[in-house]
Structure 1
Amino acid sequence: MRHGRSRGEREELQQAARLLLSRPWVTKEQQPEEYRLVHRHQHALRDWFQKMAGWALVVTSEIAKLEKQPAVHRPWMRIDEFLHPRDYALFAYALWFLEGRQREEQFLLSELIDAIGEESRRNGDELDWTNYDHRLSMVRALKKLRDLGVLQAVDGEENAWARDDTQNVLYEATRLARYVMNRFPRDFASYQTIDELYEADIFMGSDGSSEWESWATAHRRHRVIRRFLVEPVVYDADFSEEERRYVQTQRSFLVDRIEQLTGLMGRRFREGLLFTWPDLRGEFEWFPGESTLSDVCLLVANVLVERIREKHASLAPAEHGRYHVPLGELEALILELRNIHGPRWSKELREKAVAALTRDVLAMMSEWHLVAWDGADVWLLPALSRYVGAYDGELAQEEGSDGAAISTVSRGAF
C-alpha cells in the first residue's frame, strides 16, 4: 500500500477496510455506495490483505467479499442462532443445493429436503425429517440463509413446516450462495487439520512481482495480524514463542501497517499489544456495548481492579499478569453491586438468580478475553483493568490518571 495518500483517500480506504472486516460481504444491489467504495480501492485492499493477513479479496460485478479465516477459533465465532452441530451441517448442505441453482430460480422446500436427505445418506449422515428436532435444525439453517440474503421466501414460512411436515414453502435462489463458503486450493474434505489450510509456499508481492517468501515467515505474519484484526484482545502469552518474539520486535511495523489500513490504534502494554478504536466506526460488535449486562461487567471490573490495587486477600497473583478469584467471591460481589445499583438494571437482571447472573457476566467477559473461567475458578486477565466503569462519576482514578474515556474493542465478522 503506497504512502503519500491524501487524507481523503486514506479515510476512504480505511472505511472500505472496515466494511470488509465487519460484514460477511458487500453487494452492489443492496449496498451500492459501499460496493463502489470497495471496488474503487480494491487493488490496495487486495494487496494489503493478501500480503499481511493471507486473506483473498473477491470483487465481482455483484459482490465484494473478504475471505476471512481466523488464526484461532473461539467460541464467540459461532453462529448465535444455531443451537446444535446439526444446524451447521444443514446450513452447508443447503448451500450445496443452492450452488446448483440459477439466479431467481424457484424451488420448493420439499425439493431441498429430499435432495439433502439423499446426499446426507450418501455421506453417512443420519437425518430424519419426521423428527421435530431435525426439522427445527433445518428451519434455523434456512432462516440464517434468508437473513444473509442467500435465499428468499416467496410463499409460506419454515415454522409451519416444522410444526407439520406436510406443509411446504416456495423459495427463490440468489447468486450469493456461491460466495458464502471460502475458496481453498484443493477439495476441502482432503484437509485433516487447520494448519493444512496454510499450505501455499508462494506469496505474491504487493506490486505484482514475484516475492518469494518462506511459508514459515508468511504464516507467522498472517497468524499474528489475523488475530489482531479479528480478536478483541490478544496477550503476549497467547502467542507461540516465535510469534511472541515477532510481535515484540516488529511492534512499530505492525502498529503502523494496521493503523494505515483500518484506523485501529495500537498501544504496547506490559502484557501485550492492544488495538482499540478511537471512536465507534463500522458495524462491529463492540465492548463495552449498550446492554445492561455490559454495564454490570464494567462495574464488576471496577471493584476487582480496586481490590487488586489494595492487595485484597481474596485475589491471588498468578503468572502472566493474571489474578485468581474464587467463583463464590465473585457471586458475593455481584450480589452486593445489585443491592446498590439494582434500580438502574433491567428487570431481568434484577430478578435473575445471582448464580445465573454471575454465569452471564463471566460468559460475556470471557468472550471478550477479560477473564478466563473454569468451573469454580476465575482468572482475571490483564486487559480487565482497561475496561472499568461506574455510575454518576463514581469511577475511582489512579493518582496521575488522565481520566480518559474507556477504549473500545471489537470483534470481526465472518
Structure 2
Amino acid sequence: MSVNPRPDRDSRRIGELQRAQQQEEFRQAIRALLMQPLMSPTHEAFQAVRRQADKLRDWFARETGWPLHVEREGARLFKRPADLADDTRGLPGYDRQRYALLCLACAVLERADPQITLRLLGERLMQLASDPVLASYGFRFALGTAAERRDLVAVCRTLLSFGVLQRVAGDEEGFVHATNATQSDALYDVQRRLLAGMLAAVRGPSTWRPNDAPIEFDARLHSMVAEHLPDSDQGRRDALRHHLARRLLDDPVVYIDSLDAEQRAYFTNQRGAMAGRLSDATGLIAEQRAEGLALTDESGELSDLSMPAEGTEAHATLLVAEYLATRLRDTPEGALTSQDAVTAYLRAAAEKYGHYWRKSAREPGAELELAEIALDRLRRLGLIARDPREIRPLPAIARFALGDPEVRSHSTDSTARAAALL
C-alpha cells in the first residue's frame, strides 16, 4: 500500500510560507524602528514590533548596541549617533531656540497633570524660560508674537508625532494667528511612558552634580552617550562593529578615509559580512566601492531626504549633483569648485529648465537661494564636502554623472535582447 507524500509537501510549503512571513514582518519592524525610534501604540507597525520584540532586541543589541524597550504603552529604540559632530541630523525646521523649547516642554509635561492645554503649556514654558541661567545664554521666550507661538506649536506637533501628546480637542493653527492667545486653544492627553523615553542618552544631564558636570559643549554631549566598554579584545571588536553598523544604518554613505586606523582595519576585513547581515535584515542594498560602502533603499522609505524627488528645489539639487559629478569624472584632480560657480550654473540652467520651476524660482537672484538649498541637501546626503571657500564632490556623487548617449539601431537592440535571453 502506497503512502501519499502530498500532506508532507503541503506541510513543508506552509512552514516555508510562515517563515517567509515572519522574516518579512521582522524586516518591516526593523525599518519602522529605524525611522520612528519612539513608537506609540497607534503606529501601524507597532503590533509587528510587539510580536517580534525578542528577536528585535537580540538583533539590535548584537549589530548596533542600541537597547530596545517594548511595552504595551509603546516602543523605544535608543538610537545613539556614531558621530556626535555630524550636524546634518535633527528635526526638520528646528534651530537652537526650538530644541531648547522642546526640552523645556518635556520638563513641563513631566510635572503636569494627565491633561494639559496648549495655552497652559505656553505659560509654564515662559516661567521656565525666565530662569537667569537661560537668560545668560541669550534665551528668551514669550507668547507675544506669532513667531513665538509658531515655535510653541512646532514643538507640540513634534510631541504629537511621537505620541507623547494626543490631541483631545481644539487646533493649534488658530493659536498661532489669534491676536489674543486665549481665544484659541487645544487640549492634550499626556502619555507619560512615551515622555519618559524622549531622551536617548545613557546618562541624563540632571544626574550630574553642578561641580562635576562637564563644562565644554562637546564634553557634555559625549558624557551623555558614553557607554561602558568591556576591556577585552572582544569588547573592542564589538564596539567597532556597533560604531560602523550605526553609521551604515544612519548615514547615506561611509567613506573609508573618514575612519581612523583601527576602524579602517576592521571595516576593510569585515565590511562584506557586515553589509550582508545588515542588508538581509533591513532589505537595504549594499553598494561596495573602493572608497567605501553605502546601504541604499530603493523604496526611499528609510530616508528623510530623498533624491531624486519632486519640486523645484529637488530638481535644482539633481542638476547641481550632475554638474559636480561631471566635473569629478572629467577632472578628478581639479573638481573643487565654489558656490559662486554653482550659482552661475543654476542661473544658466534656469533659461533651459525654468519653465518647469515655480514662478518665484525664476525671478532674478533666486538662483542664490536655490544654490544654497541644493548644496545643503547634497552635503546632508554625503555627496559633497564644503567649507566657506570651496565645494568638493565626494565619490558617491558619481552615480549622478550622465555619460555620453549611445545611439543604437533597431537591429542592434534586437540582437542585444536576443543575446540576453541565451
Smaller-chain TM-score range?
0.7 to 0.9
- Please name the residue that 2:253 is paired with: 233
Q: Taking structure 1 as reference, are residues 167 and 58 closer, same or farther at Cα in structure 2, changes over 3 Å only?
A: same
CA contact (8 A) 1:258 1:264 kept: yes
CA shift for structure 1 position 345 = 2.8
Q: Secondary structure at the match of 1:154?
A: strand
2:342 aligned residue? 330
Report how far residue 258 of structure 1 moved.
Answer: 0.6
Show structure 1 runs of 5+ residues with no match.
204-211, 318-322, 390-394, 400-414
Q: Which residue of 2 aligns with 1:206?
A: none
1:38 paired to 2:53? no
Aligned residue identity for 2:382: H
SS in 2 for 1:77: coil
Identity of aligned residues (%): 26
Q: Higher mean Cα deviation, 262-271 or 111-120?
A: 111-120
**SS of alignment partner, residue 372 of structure 1:** strand
Cα gap change, 1:41 to 1:229, in 2 (>3 Å): same
- TM-score, structure 2 as length reference: 0.76
Aligned-pair CA distance for 1:177 = 2.2
Give the structure with the higher percent helix: 2
In structure 2, the residue matched to 1:195 is: 222
The answer as to 2:417 corresponding to 1:396 is: no
SS at match of 2:275: helix
Q: Does 1:145 align with 2:155?
A: no
Whether 1:252 and 2:275 are equivalent positions in the alignment is no
Which runs of structure 2 are paired with 1:254-403 in the superposition (5 Å)? 254-281=274-301, 284-311=304-331, 316-317=333-334, 323-351=335-363, 353-388=366-401, 396=404
Q: Does 1:58 align with 2:73?
A: no
SS at match of 1:266: strand
Q: CA deviation at 1:234?
A: 1.8
47-56 vs 329-338, greater mean Cα deviation: 329-338
Shift of 1:75: 2.9
1:264 is displaced (CA, Å) by 1.4
CA distance in 1, matches of 2:321, 2:204: 47
**Residue in structure 2 matched with residue 13 of structure 1 by the alignment:** 26
Alignment correspondent of 2:79: 68
* CA-to-aligned-CA distance 1:217-251 (integer Å, 9 cap, x gap): 33322221111101112211222222122111111
Question: Which runs of structure 2 are paired with 1:97-176 in the superposition (5 Å)?
Answer: 97-101=108-112, 105-109=114-118, 111-121=120-130, 124-126=133-135, 127=140, 129=142, 132=145, 134-151=148-165, 152=167, 154-155=169-170, 157=172, 160=175, 163-164=179-180, 169-175=185-191, 176=194
TM-score for both structures, normalised by structure 1: 0.78
Shift of 1:382: 0.8
Deviation at 1:88, TM superposition (A): 1.2
Amino acid aligned to 1:142: C
> SS at the partner of 1:107?
strand
2:106 counterpart of 1:88: no
Q: 1:98 to 1:308 in 2, by over 3 A?
A: closer
Contact 1:158 1:169 (8 Å CA) reproduced: no
Query: Is the counterpart of residue 177 in structure 1 residue 177 in structure 2?
Result: no
Larger Rg belongs to: 2
- Which deviations, in whole Å up to 9, do the C-alpha atoms of 1:80-139 show, x marking residues without a partner? 232x4122112111112222345xx33344543454444455572234536536555434
Task: Give the secondary structure class of the aligned counterpart of 1:184.
Answer: coil
Higher RCO structure (Cα 8 Å, ≥6 apart): 1
Aligned residues: 370
RMSD of aligned Cα (Å): 3.2
Whole-Å separation in 1 of the counterparts to 2:360 and 2:88: 23
